[in-house]
Chains A and B, each alone.
Chain A
Amino acid sequence: MANLIRRGRIESGNWPRLDADGLTALATQKQGERDSPAGVLIPFELWRSKHDLCATLGTEVGVLIGDDDDLTEVAAHLPHAGLIAVHFPRFTNGCGYSIARLLRGRYGYQGELRAVGDIMRDQLFYLGRVGFDAFELRDDQDCEHALNAFSDFTHPYQASSDEPVPLFRRRVG
């Protein structure tokens, strides 16, 4: 089922999350036998310790981070990360919004930033603002309908990752 929005487009394909065993299993499969997923998500600590192995998987790798990961550690490894996924355990847990804002604003991360977990249409406007450009929606969400969410508001007041200059600096006159 198509549940991934990447840079404004709907894509299909689930990106499985790998733990240490899953990572070893995928890595040891023979090239030809691989039933390769479009990509995989690997938790930050695992990815950091098995960085070289991850690079041999022959599929896209996203680094999965959560509320408890130390962002300064993550930041130190940013140059090696092509894709970062931030996990939202529940949509009412908004910690990931600040993580995104910091990755983009403070640490200058420019690669793909994907919101995963309990993601639904009604968060997309805010998620897009703080710097996410990819969204793995919950299975029950209608992706087509969800695309409208990005235009819910025309002139938000605040500065954020999508618009670093707050409205008040563009409004005077």
Chain B
Amino acid sequence: MYVYDSIDQRVVDERVAQFRDQTARHLAGRLSEDDFRPLRLQNGLYIQRHAPMLRVAIPYGMLNSAQLRKLAFIARVYDRGYGHFSTRQNIQFNWPELARVPDILAELASVQMHAIQTSGNCIRNITSDHFAGIAPDEIVNPLTWAEILRQWSTLHPEFAFLPRKFKIAINGATADRAAIQVHDIGLQAVQADDGAIGFKVLVGGGLGRTPIIGQVLREYLPWQHLLSYLDAILRVYNRFGRRDNLYRSRIKIQLKEQGLERFLAEVEQEWSWSKDGPNTLTEAEVQRVASRFTQPAYRNLPASCEALQVQLVQDRSFAAWHRRNVHPHRVPGYAAVTLSLKMTGVPPGDATAEQMDAIAGLAERYSFGEARVTHEQNIVLADVEQAALHELWQEARGLGLATPNIGLLTNIIACPGGDFCSLANARSIPVAEDIQRRFDDLDYLFDIGELDLNISGCMNSCGHHHVGHIGILGVDKHGSEFYQVSIGGAQGEQASLGKVIGPSFGAQDVGAAVERLIACYLEHRDSDAERFIDTVRRLGIEPFKEYVYGKSHSSRTHRERQLASA
């Protein structure tokens, strides 16, 4: 966890004062709604369907227990007792009162948090791998770099009014857990043969209306040049990105229209004058930032814990949870744990104030007082002793945070959708719940195996449906809610975009369509080891299409056939 110094603190304090003044002017009628809108958006404040919505930044997903308690406090005092963790490592409050938002920001500032640039056409919250710093497959710890980027992007004077929003993600492990291929800029930290750190720079990825996988702009950028190079990319975008058409205003469209070569030439040209200038990062700065991160005081433990092995044999439910929700750690004797915010019946990513307080307690007792938010809308306790896992599991279960579904179908990623979001075509939450209920049987769920199911309420794709193995998108048909289903999307190193299987479904039929997709998969997979996505890749979407829309026997669900043969 990065700890602010007095300068960092002053920046967020002054931001609160600035926004307090803006809000006061707006409420006094001296700042029109049109003028206020872009300003409030840059502080994460939307005016939503029912009330304002405030999006708070959780930079690269890191939280400490004091911050979690503060979020719980805000949920309780300023909202309706819960918050929603989004797919970009933010938390959203759905019911704050406009006049009190400056107070909420002041509360946040008191625990080194803010809502700066969580919306608006500016550089958004920097996201990263939720296992950063602890993953066994890590090459470079991205946290220091993510914080350097946070500071660089915070109140950047040149890039506050870009053509459109701009999202940057950074990853440092071999597995890509930061979805760098679907960001405006994706950075993969790499280590050269001589040990020097650098970054592979991807640009122009993104979801939304025109989903595109990012292209490599530079295979290796030495770390010293990180900021000047990003400045150059942003400057080329800020100058030549399109402002005449909202749907063509992302950098991915600029890249598509210009072609990679020309875009690259422009960036290089732009970079040529600022390269090696004062923005060149220094060893001292990297050290300074790195040293302001708290370091967990790991104990010397054996790599494998005997008590744990016994518990795994004795307790089947615990073993199921361990299999899905416990992840390897680079330090012997430790593990990372995902607390699932995907219990059936609760909107994906929602946590109550009580749960947040409780998670703060768990973090303190089991994980050096820190927690992380994942882009899959769950919470990770990153540094748990293996010997304590069973105890932690029991506590988490009591809190409704131990659903053993990480990586499985019911770990649904979903945006708030039509229940909250004014842009939505359709609701996401009831669809998620319906699907979760259909797959509530744990044995069945485990048998289906790894599957990402993502739901967005509209083309803005906040639920990342394009990269779900199964993606569901809310569409509007003659004023009623319909859902388009796609399959074959994936995040990570093998990122791909899903293909639509056919005509959309009414709300009451989506769940059944998902069941048929799964039945088709179970029938066609060549072994338990072949995941849903692998089968789709091997066979293409045709068999699935037929299975779902065909009138033959095959349209009966797996369950129906099980029942029929029982």
Contacts and interface: CB of A to CB of B under 8 A. Distances in A.
B158 A93 contact: no
B interface, how many residues as a size bin?
Answer: 35 or more
Interface string A96-115: 01110110011000000000
B254 interface: no
Contacts of A106: 273-274
A168 B285 contact: yes
Interface string B245-275: 0000000000000000000000000000110
Interface in B126-165: 148, 151-152, 154-162
B278 interface: yes
A171 B288 contact: yes
Contacts of B38: 91-92
A157 B11 contact: yes
B486 interface: no
A155 interface: yes
A93 B157 contact: no
Contact of A122 (B22, B243, B282): B22
Given A98-B235, A120-B35, A158-B152, A172 B160 contact: no
B411 to A, nearest CB: 37
B284 interface: yes
A167 interface: yes
A156 B151 CA distance: 9
Interface residues of A, number: 36
A154 B35 CA distance: 24
A169 B151 CA distance: 13
A152 B14 contact: yes
Contacts of B537: none
A98 B238 contact: yes
A157 B288 contact: no
A160 B158 contact: yes
B196 interface: no
Nearest to B22: A122
A15 interface: no
Given A155-B10, A159-B278, A99 B239 contact: yes
Given A155-B10, A169-B278, A169-B285, 20 more contacts: A67-B239, A91-B38, A92-B121, A94-B159, A97-B238, A98-B235, A105-B274, A106-B274, A122-B39, A126-B155, A130-B157, A153-B11, A153-B14, A154-B10, A158-B155, A159-B279, A164-B278, A166-B278, A168-B285, A171-B288
Interface of B: 7, 10-11, 14-15, 17-18, 22, 31, 35, 38-39, 121, 148, 151-152, 154-162, 227, 235, 238-239, 243, 273-274, 277-279, 281-282, 284-285, 288
7 contacts: A97-B160, A97-B238, A101-B235, A122-B39, A126-B157, A153-B11, A169-B285
